[in-house]
Amino acid sequence: MLEFTEKGLILRVGRFREADAWVRMLTPSRGVLTAFAFGGMKSRRRFPGCLDPLNLVLFKFGSDRRGRYLNLDEGTLLNGHPLLRGNPRNLGVAVNCLKFTEAVQVAPEGAEGSYSLLLNLLDLLEEEIAEPEALPLLFRARLGFSQGYEPDFLACGGCGLPVEHFDRPRFFVEKGQVLCPSCADGPRWQKGLPVSSGALRALHWIMSHPPGEWPRLTVPPLVRREFSLIVERFIAYHLGLEWDGGTFRNV
Ligand SMILES: [Zn+2]
């Protein structure tokens, strides 16, 4: 038998049978996990106000005797994000980011960074923001590029030359690298995505600033298009995910 207490940000809740539920959540030390709340849909005493997406809950976990699955013994609601729930624009953004987090299946290694990233984003969405619709792309960039290894956007991945010292940088999705024209010449060069130094600086900025500062980032439409193309291609190639009609599907 396994027993522990852990915080979890609920991503999704599914019902099965009359009173039972499964709960998928992001935790700081175990990444994304799924646990069963037997009787959870009926028990107000064990899970008061807890079993809904967007809730941050302190859960007491147990397992079945053979340790095959986790179950939830009880929960204490820590933060239900009430202001965000009452703001339809921000709520749509939050739901999009929860779906992406679930699709990424954040592993235990590095889960703490992903967990605080998501919580910081939800804190930001508790406020009124000028353009909340710009945030999911930035969130996908930050979460996507932090799974595994993080590209260096400010230097050539081959020779280390800083991007301000060469012209026509290109981003190579498969390698997750920026390369200068002399490190990727010939036919290889054609495979790289042309990218301006403005877009590279914006990518670097997002990786090094917390969500609370993201509304300050303003970029021209061309830079935003390059930024978006790099993020979506990287996520499709390395994480196998593509946004398709309201959900992320595996590609
Ligand atoms: Zn180079």
pLDDT of residue 1: 67
Model pTM above 0.85: yes
What is residue 115's three-state secondary structure?
helix
Q: Does residue 175 come out as left (phi exceeding 0), alpha (psi in the -120 to 50 range) or beta?
A: alpha
Please give the CATH architecture assigned to the domain spanning 83-150+196-250. Answer: Up-down Bundle (1.20)
The pLDDT of residue 243 is above 90: no
Fold equal for 4-80 and 83-150+196-250: no
The pLDDT of residue 245 is above 80: no
pLDDT of residue 66: 84
The overall average pLDDT reported for the chain is: 93
33 CA to centre of ligand 1 in angstroms: 41
178 CA to centre of ligand 1 in angstroms: 8
Residues with CB under 5 A from ligand 1 (ion): 156, 158-159, 180, 183
Q: Does residue 237 come out as left (phi exceeding 0), alpha (psi in the -120 to 50 range) or beta?
A: alpha
In the chain, where the domains are located: 4-80, 83-150+196-250
36 CA to centre of ligand 1 in angstroms: 51
Percent of the chain topping pLDDT 90 = 79
Each residue's pLDDT tens digit, 1-25: 689 999 999 999 999 888 899 999 9
The pLDDT of residue 242 is above 90: no
69 vs 185 pLDDT, higher one:
69
For 206, the token pair is 């997002």
Give the confidence band of 42 by pLDDT, cuts at 50, 70, 90. Answer: confident
204 CA to centre of ligand 1 in angstroms: 18
For 154, the token pair is 């400010």
| CA 59 to chain CA mean position, Å | 22
Please give the CATH architecture assigned to the domain spanning 4-80. Answer: Beta Barrel (2.40)
Each residue's pLDDT tens digit, 156-184: 999 999 999 999 999 999 999 999 999 98
Each residue's pLDDT tens digit, 178-223: 999 999 878 888 889 999 999 999 999 999 999 999 999 999 999 9
pLDDT of residue 229: 96
